[in-house]
């Protein structure tokens, strides 16, 4: 089985959903830089405050901050049996830094799973996304409605739209993806690590395809 996985794709391609499925099925540690930054923002730490100023505009958090956070996390004991990186790396400098730090801690990346999805579908998915403020459960105004509008089915907490899930911020994020992140596909293809999947097939079919590939 392949472990130490990077999950790539534009915002809204379904990385978070697939990551949770793989984490449960393959007993991998799910490492989402987005979640780590949101936790820091919620806690009101200096790092969280700095990250919020970038995230709210749809901009990327500076590489040196993100790289340090990821290195610290990958070095922890629960990552020894395999991890799934979601949201990192986003730029070539981050990818190069990850290649070096993964050697330092003897946990090399074994495969890069890339999710393809067209922009029209990305905008539909993200602009309708809602999240529970209390437990973080995901919803969608069209495809995954709660039983009671604005209320989480799981814990009863209020649902909200993240600041970076509006259409204006999304356009900025997609511009960053095209300019900064998409070149990583060439980087990892040259290293023989890249495997791409069409995320429009639906979340269950996508999970089946990816999990079968990882278990080869």
From the list 52, 90, 125, 130, the catalytic residue is 90
Contacts of 180 (CB under 8 A, 6+ apart): 60, 90, 91, 92
From the list 3, 15, 125, 130, the catalytic residue is 15
From the list 73, 99, 124, 162, the catalytic residue is 162
173 catalytic? Reply is: yes
107 catalytic? Reply is: no
What secondary structure letter does DSSP report for 58?
T
129 catalytic? Reply is: yes
* Calpha distance 25→7 (Å, rounded): 16
Beta strand pairing status for 129-132 and 159-160?
Answer: antiparallel
Count of other CB atoms within 10 angstroms of residue 127: 16
From the list 38, 52, 129, 130, the catalytic residue is 129
* Calpha distance 4→24 (Å, rounded): 15
Residues serving a catalytic function are: 15, 90, 129, 162, 173
């Amino acid at each position: 089985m392949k472990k130490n996985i990077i999950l790539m794709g534009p915002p809204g391609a379904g990385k978070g959903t697939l990551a949770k499925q793989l984490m449960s099925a393959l007993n991998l540690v799910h490492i989402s830089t987005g979640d780590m930054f949101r936790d820091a923002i919620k806690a009101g730490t200096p790092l969280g405050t700095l990250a919020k100023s970038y995230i709210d505009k749809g901009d990327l958090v500076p590489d040196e901050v993100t790289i340090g956070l990821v290195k610290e996390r990958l070095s922890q004991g629960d990552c020894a049996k395999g991890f799934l990186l979601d949201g990192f790396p986003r730029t070539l400098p981050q990818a190069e830094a990850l290649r070096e730090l993964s050697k330092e801690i003897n946990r090399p990346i074994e495969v890069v799973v890339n999710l393809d999805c067209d922009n029209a579908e990305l905008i539909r998915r993200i602009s309708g996304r809602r999240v529970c403020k209390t437990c973080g459960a995901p919803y969608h105004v069209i495809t995954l409605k709660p039983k009671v509008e604005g209320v989480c089915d799981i814990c009863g907490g209020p649902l909200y739209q993240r600041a970076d899930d509006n259409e204006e911020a999304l356009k900025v994020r997609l511009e960053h993806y095209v300019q900064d992140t998409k070149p990583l596909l060439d980087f990892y293809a040259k290293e023989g690590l890249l495997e791409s999947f069409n995320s429009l097939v639906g979340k269950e079919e996508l999970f089946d395809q990816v999990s079968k590939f990882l278990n080869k």
